[in-house]
Amino acid sequence: MRDFLHRCVAVLGDVVLDRYIEGTTSRVSREAPIPVVVCGSERDNLGGAGNVAMNLRGLGCQVFLMGRVGRDHAASRVRAHLEAGGIEAELFEHDGPTLTKTRLICEGQQVARFDREGISEARADKDDVRVVVSILDGVLAQGVSTLILSDYGLGFCSPAICRAVIERCASLTNPVPVLIDPRGSDWEKYRGAAGATPNLAELSAAVGYPVPNEDGAVAQAGAQLRRTYGMDWLLLTRSASGMTLIEKENGPVHIPARRVEVFDVSGAGDTVIACMAASGSRSVLEAARFANEAAQIVVTRAGTYPITASDLEHKPQNTAPIFGLNERDKAVRACREWRDAGLRVVFTNGCFDLFHAGHAASLTAARALGDKLIVGLNSDASVRRIKGPHRPVNREADRAAVLASMRAVDAVVVFGSDTPEALLSELRPNVLAKGGDYKADELPGREYAEEVVILPLVDGLSSSAIIEAARRR
């Protein structure tokens, strides 16, 4: 987190107020075949360039925001959020409405969105460009390290303003890199920026043809776009497929996404561009990996959610606790605390002698069944009884360390019996998950779990098969 402290980032773009109306429904209208929603609580927060600014503040950066609002109540809410967030801002007023997106949420599901845009009233003219550049000069003089153009296609990031901002930042004795969160097919206005973070739809719009979400196709289109507009890098966001980084000096790097339960993707792009700007002395690749991790946190939250340093410090780490043969009471206590907190605990077990892709897939699938995953690990003596005198190949301490390094795993418990039945009788998890050709009613200890799930195996992958193949060679 120290990388972000004292960094100053300027954000120019379309400032949006995101509103949320929560409601319930139990009947259909007599006027039309639509649900009747009884509205309850209402809340709002910053969206668009405002959400980019809030992400940066959450990371500890100093932030200056420039955008446009109307002369209405929504504008006062925007200013209140900026003041509460400690964000310095220059907001130009115009006669149209403040850009507002109102989402109707019914029992956790978004059922409608109502937008107030007024794009035609918000377009910049020559006087706007002159004023923007004049204010920007003062901000740049305060030591801005990076500038973000957050373009939602809603009027503020006109070609004239984008060109003027990029050229002014490039003309400085110590040029300030400009990062683009792009929109639309007109990328000429972004020419010469340091980098951009388009999603797949934005990439397709920019190159003029639909780009399939495949590594090769994305890399080819991204490289073409980067060269055409003279950027140092592009970070292409690809939803569940992760991200692809295209740099001037290096080949494409595909950054996979962890499997997470996606609740709401609103604002994930804002988090990505903010992390790239905040990453300081990190390499572009390190920044991209960091942005990928942060984006996977915010999509698990409801509504537009700005990332914070606390979220990142408490994200799942590769340091799951390991409970040895004589530490079962500690494992039971941890499991009880998770259940008491209302978390759904999943248990799976195995020897995990030579860790392979099938193990990784099984653990990921098991973790998706709940909130916490405990892995029971056969001790060395137990493996010898089950597999023979030449097994295990790896000691239990090493096998446990590999399991604990997996993001899907929340705890590892070593047990000495041939089956985990006794361990399960004490842990009593919500779910018992097991990969293989087992039948649910045949699993030892099944009676101590509320639910049993049999996970599919990856064909052709097993520790025994790998060991035998190595011996034959």
Reply yes or no on whether the pLDDT at 427 is more than 90. Answer: yes
In the block, tokens 């609103």 appear at 266
128 carries an active-site annotation: no
In this structure, of 89-98, 290-299, 318-327, 420-429, the range with the lowest mean pLDDT score is 318-327
Pairs from 184-187 (Cβ < 8 Å, separation ≥ 24): 184/151, 184/153, 186/159, 187/225, 187/228, 187/229
- Structure tokens, 362: 């099984």
How many residues would you count in the chain?
473
**Do the beta carbons of residue 91 and residue 77 sit within 8 Å?**
no
Residue-level pLDDT at 124? 53
How does the average pLDDT of the chain come out, rounded?
87
Of 14, 44, 270, 410, the active-site residue reads 270
pLDDT, average across residues 102-109: 83
- Tens digit of each residue's pLDDT (9 = 90 or more) over 127-166: 788 999 999 999 999 889 999 999 999 989 999 999 999 9
In this structure, of 118-122, 171-175, 195-199, the range with the lowest mean pLDDT score is 118-122
Reply yes or no on whether the pLDDT at 441 is more than 90. Answer: no
Instruction: Say if pTM beats, i.e. exceeds, 0.85.
Output: no
- Structure tokens, 240: 């569940």
pLDDT, average across residues 17-37: 89
Q: What domains appear along the chain, each with residue ranges and CATH number? A: 8-313 (3.40.1190.20), 322-472 (3.40.50.620)
Reply yes or no on whether the pLDDT at 359 is more than 90. Answer: no
Residue-level pLDDT at 1? 46
**Partners of residue 225 on adjacent β-strands:** none
pLDDT, average across residues 218-224: 95
What is the C-alpha to C-alpha distance for residues 420 and 348, in angstroms, rounded to an integer? 9
Helix, coil or strand: residue 361: helix
Reply yes or no on whether the pLDDT at 452 is more than 80. Answer: yes
Residue-level pLDDT at 72? 93
Residue type, 239: S
The pLDDT confidence band at residue 5, using thresholds 50, 70 and 90, is low
What is the C-alpha to C-alpha distance for residues 177 and 238, in angstroms, rounded to an integer? 24
**Do the beta carbons of residue 455 and residue 433 sit within 8 Å?**
yes
What is the C-alpha to C-alpha distance for residues 432 and 449, in angstroms, rounded to an integer? 6
C-alpha distances (whole Å) from 204 to each of 44, 217, 224, 226 are: 32, 11, 12, 13
Phi, then psi, of 246 in degrees rounded to 5: -115, 115
The pLDDT confidence band at residue 313, using thresholds 50, 70 and 90, is low
Residue-level pLDDT at 37? 86
Reply yes or no on whether the pLDDT at 125 is more than 90. Answer: no
- Tens digit of each residue's pLDDT (9 = 90 or more) over 235-273: 999 988 889 999 988 888 888 876 555 555 678 899 999
What is the C-alpha to C-alpha distance for residues 175 and 145, in angstroms, rounded to an integer? 9
